[in-house]
Structure 1
């Protein structure tokens, strides 16, 4: 009887509509439905990409360049109908990111209601191209979560414009649709603000940088080399436009009230003590934060944000809110006066006042805030988006009290953590906390939540903090292939299967190789 039941389940799993047991169709993230058909489509140097709507030209050109890297021949993009072609078409009736991919022996068609979803279909097709002959099939697909994000910290180490674009390309390949750009921190201010030029003239530069692993209990060794760059507003517009062409929304992060030492160094009146301050040369958490008792602090932040909003059309703006020590506020007469005048209980409620005030300003400008989960301290409005990084519990509590939540718990989603259990043996210098591909895949963003509360989970995000990551090659090594695991949770959380994921991922790795990405090999070498 046991063997009979196994046989029944095995047959069911290989029927149309089940993506798990398909032998030739290997796509990450896992599609909602796959039906394998007899035969295959042979892509030749003369096979064009046909667009039936001019809106589809950019997705077609992105795909054509990718095919060129895989096969050595970049297909032509044309509006002229062809028989043996990859044809892209827009039709009503699909959800915003839903697509239909049909591969026959003579023709491939990608159909969706939006150019974004057509590009998703082409990203799936890209992996099938990587496998050689394209197997005949029908793929029906759409994501589980609307928010699928990845963060890049450019404060600890700066990434030039072309490298940021490469990072965005990696996101697009994985159907990740939000680029969280961490632009300000204690170690550097990276965004040009014309109202306050010293933010980049002074705040973007540190005197030197720590060498080796940081230990707050030991005196470090430093390289003695001044370090610092920033993005002009023109460069930021260029990156936002580049991401938009790939249907990725760029969400800037301007840290407050903590992690603001670079700004305090440029304008010491922003702090409680008045300085002197210095842009930090090492990592960790600074005691010096924005003074919450001065009106001039809020005037500064609002003027900075006015320029930020002009550069970034995203509905969501990240305001940090994490790791804000309260010692300076406790000793500051102006902060204590603010607590008394506003009828606040303590410094935690002062932080809540700070965040509420910035959120109200954002609302008057048609935007919403995201904050790290510490913004829950002292109370927060139900409209604030909570990014849960201190494990899943803060996100669970926030969802239960009615807040929208993005799950990014560090033990699953921090990709600056080591990828193996023996990083000293296998990996470059870095954070020795451990998140393997398997562990990243284990994330269940809706765990322990009732169905109504699950609806408040907007999605998931992976984060790359760059204390030990100085260039794009190292960044690629840290996020690949773990980003594929995160992407599958974001896109296909309702149909995950780790063993099937491992079976499918070689097709995606073939794309990594064609693109020249420096992916980590540990998963494929059996090293965890």
Structure 2
């Protein structure tokens, strides 16, 4: 109801409307990774409030990883005592969070990833591993070698007791076993495991993992739980009463549904990769033109936005989740034919402010982090620049910088929202100007580009006293040059003149520079400026 609240000169009011609505998919989730970086209780609670506002109904809670085991275990206390750096949820906190979620119509599905992504388990219980220890909590990111030994009965005795404890703690009918990214190196190097494969006619490591997963399935079935796992668990030996969670592509989801499995999509909803809300909004769990039958379509339960935390911390996680997850929430709720991107952005920007009223920090924290970078100086020049920047997308940061769980994530790239709304509006303004829609478009363009020019000198002055900002000085210099060249382009266009060949060549070089990442930041206005330059260039 609060989202309907409007105001005019007479005061506040609710419009007279009739709402007849229901979700398209029953599984509309958000994954929060509390392992790569620790996410305290308050982070989880405020994001549950955000989920409720967005009508998301599943919190997929990633609770074990190479970098940390985050749940108190009374049966196996070394899991959290030695595998968490002291950062874990007590069982009482878990119960409180589950109750808080239930009050908001949200189910909590825990994920304990296995057999891989388990280094933190082996710190306290090295006998579970496929190679000798000792083991330490992993500080790096990526696919690591440590993996559980699926051939020992002691492994399953441990997991039987572990799951008995955890299934009692988490009441939802589903549990997630992960099952992804086992590189098999430890299995390949272990002669006993290789002999086990041969004795049991297991053709490869995928078949061996299916053996492991089937043993897990029997354990979970005894505790009246349904098994969910990433798409690597899909194997002919696995029965179709499990749920396939697709992260590698929609085709895996389609294939699973065609084989009788239920499925969930996360490919295309990886919000940690800083892609646009439009990209996520147009990504449908059932692709357009799909030849799936009606029964196969019913097996697609929905999807989840995935907030992996390699490069997100408790300070930045809200800005990586919101407001773009609103677009995913609408995709999972609304009919497939609803695809008006401009209208989605209009509504998303408005609701983003409302989400702040719920206690989310996706807007507020950026100002705090900028003040810290500014070292006690006025951060306005840095804020003015930040509006026109966005983090690199995809896995660029992970691939180009050897981050660890100890790395500080306090730079401009960490403060920048994943998508620049001013840059998007600027692109629309350039389009309107070139189409001659309104006389005022020219002046509006010049005002923006003049501000780019004047802000650079202010930023240079700020950097002298706040050296942590020095890495973005080249970004600011390029934006200044774009502003200068943009003013020239507008003058050419207004006179209906073509620029010289030399001018055009110079601007092509400028655009090329603007399109290259610096300080792991992109300049989203580069495309619109290229369009403006092309309109007058040769």
Normalising by the smaller structure, the TM-score range is: 0.5 to 0.7
The question of 1:451 aligning with 2:309 is answered: no
The question of 1:187 aligning with 2:63 is answered: no
With normalisation by structure 2, the TM-score equals 0.65
8 Å CA contact 1:130, 1:510 repeated in 2: no
CA gap of 1:495–1:440, structure 2 versus 1, over 3 A, is same
8 Å CA contact 2:320, 2:418 repeated in 1: no
Look up the match of 2:216. Answer: 358
After superposition, residues 128-207 of structure 1 pair within 5 angstroms as 128-129=4-5, 132-205=12-85
Question: 1:283-310, CA deviations, whole angstroms, 9 ceiling, x for partnerless residues?
Answer: 1111110011111111111211111101
CA gap of 1:474–1:130, structure 2 versus 1, over 3 A, is farther
User: What is the CA distance between 1:449 and its match in structure 2?
Assistant: 4.1
State how far apart, in whole Å, the 1-side matches of 2:58 and 2:336 are. Answer: 20
After superposition, residues 248-263 of structure 1 pair within 5 angstroms as 248-263=106-121
Look up the match of 1:415. Answer: 271
Question: 1:35-61, CA deviations, whole angstroms, 9 ceiling, x for partnerless residues?
Answer: xxxxxxxxxxxxxxxxxxxxxxxxxxx
State how far apart, in whole Å, the 1-side matches of 2:34 and 2:230 are. Answer: 17
Look up the match of 1:465. Answer: 308
Q: 2:89 aligns with which of 231, 239, 243?
A: 231
Look up the match of 2:319. Answer: 477
| Two-structure CA RMSD over aligned residues (Å) | 1.7
SS of equivalent to 1:466: coil
8 Å CA contact 1:270, 1:291 repeated in 2: yes
8 Å CA contact 2:33, 2:63 repeated in 1: yes
8 Å CA contact 2:254, 2:292 repeated in 1: no
The question of 1:526 aligning with 2:423 is answered: yes
The question of 1:387 aligning with 2:245 is answered: yes
Look up the match of 1:126. Answer: 2
State how far apart, in whole Å, the 2-side matches of 1:352 and 1:178 are. Answer: 26
With normalisation by structure 1, the TM-score equals 0.66
User: What is the CA distance between 1:342 and its match in structure 2?
Assistant: 2.5
Gapped runs of 5+ residues in structure 2? 364-416, 425-523, 525-538
Question: 1:421-457, CA deviations, whole angstroms, 9 ceiling, x for partnerless residues?
Answer: xxxxxxxxxxxxxx21110101111112423221110
User: What is the CA distance between 1:521 and its match in structure 2?
Assistant: 8.2
State how far apart, in whole Å, the 1-side matches of 2:422 and 2:166 are. Answer: 44
State how far apart, in whole Å, the 2-side matches of 1:521 and 1:402 are. Answer: 37
User: Whose strand proportion is higher, 1 or 2?
Assistant: 1
8 Å CA contact 2:327, 2:348 repeated in 1: no
8 Å CA contact 1:268, 1:277 repeated in 2: yes
Look up the match of 1:244. Answer: 102
Look up the match of 2:378. Answer: none
8 Å CA contact 1:256, 1:321 repeated in 2: yes
Q: 1:367 aligns with which of 225, 239, 257?
A: 225
CA gap of 1:521–1:465, structure 2 versus 1, over 3 A, is closer
Look up the match of 2:282. Answer: 442
The question of 1:499 aligning with 2:379 is answered: no
User: What is the CA distance between 1:264 and its match in structure 2?
Assistant: 1.0
8 Å CA contact 2:322, 2:352 repeated in 1: no
Higher relative contact order structure (alpha carbons within 8 Å, sequence separation ≥ 6): 1
State how far apart, in whole Å, the 2-side matches of 1:376 and 1:525 are. Answer: 43
Q: Max radius of gyration: which structure?
A: 2
Look up the match of 1:66. Answer: none
CA gap of 1:355–1:459, structure 2 versus 1, over 3 A, is same
Look up the match of 1:488. Answer: 330
8 Å CA contact 1:127, 1:507 repeated in 2: no
State how far apart, in whole Å, the 2-side matches of 1:406 and 1:369 are. Answer: 13
8 Å CA contact 1:444, 1:493 repeated in 2: no
User: What is the CA distance between 1:348 and its match in structure 2?
Assistant: 1.3
CA gap of 1:482–1:337, structure 2 versus 1, over 3 A, is same
Q: How many residues align?
A: 363
State how far apart, in whole Å, the 1-side matches of 2:143 and 2:159 are. Answer: 21
Question: 1:334-381, CA deviations, whole angstroms, 9 ceiling, x for partnerless residues?
Answer: 322332333222221000100111012211221101000011156422
State how far apart, in whole Å, the 1-side matches of 2:236 and 2:132 are. Answer: 26
CA gap of 1:449–1:334, structure 2 versus 1, over 3 A, is farther
State how far apart, in whole Å, the 2-side matches of 1:133 and 1:201 are. Answer: 53
Moved more, 182-191 or 364-373: 364-373
SS of equivalent to 1:416: helix
Look up the match of 1:285. Answer: 143
State how far apart, in whole Å, the 1-side matches of 2:13 and 2:419 are. Answer: 28
State how far apart, in whole Å, the 2-side matches of 1:364 and 1:392 are. Answer: 31
8 Å CA contact 1:130, 1:507 repeated in 2: no
User: Whose helix proportion is higher, 1 or 2?
Assistant: 2
CA gap of 1:507–1:136, structure 2 versus 1, over 3 A, is farther
User: What is the CA distance between 1:522 and its match in structure 2?
Assistant: 3.7
SS of equivalent to 1:181: strand
SS of equivalent to 2:110: strand
